[in-house]
């Protein structure tokens, strides 16, 4: 998936509010956060660029998305 496709699918106009990042991590658009269903913890972000640069086990969120 490229950035333009991601922005379209996750944008406000398309209506997608969340997506499954990994088996136990969900990304929500409003509020912008990653939620861990195993621990019930969430990490909130100020903007989409901050979210995409966030690292999980040494891999950025964007790298995980690109592999999908």
Q: What is the pLDDT of residue 68?
A: 79
Evaluate whether 51 touches 63 at the Cβ level (below 8 Å): no
Percent of the chain with pLDDT over 70: 94
- Does residue 61 contact residue 48 with C-beta atoms inside 8 Å? no
> Is residue 59 pLDDT above 80, yes or no?
yes
Least confident range of 29-33, 35-39, 41-45: 29-33
Q: How confident is the model at residue 47 (pLDDT cuts 50, 70, 90)?
A: very high
Where are any strands of DSSP class E within 1-68?
A: 18-20, 25-28, 33-36, 41-44, 55-56, 59-60
3-state DSSP call for residue 17?
A: coil
pTM score: 0.83
């Amino acid at each position: 998936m490229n950035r333009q496709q991601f922005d379209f699918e996750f944008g406000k106009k398309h209506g997608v509010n969340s997506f499954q990042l990994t088996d136990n991590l969900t990304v929500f658009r409003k509020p912008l956060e990653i939620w861990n269903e195993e621990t019930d913890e969430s990490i909130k972000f100020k903007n989409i660029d901050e979210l995409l640069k966030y690292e999980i086990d040494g891999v950025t969120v964007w790298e995980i998305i690109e592999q999908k």
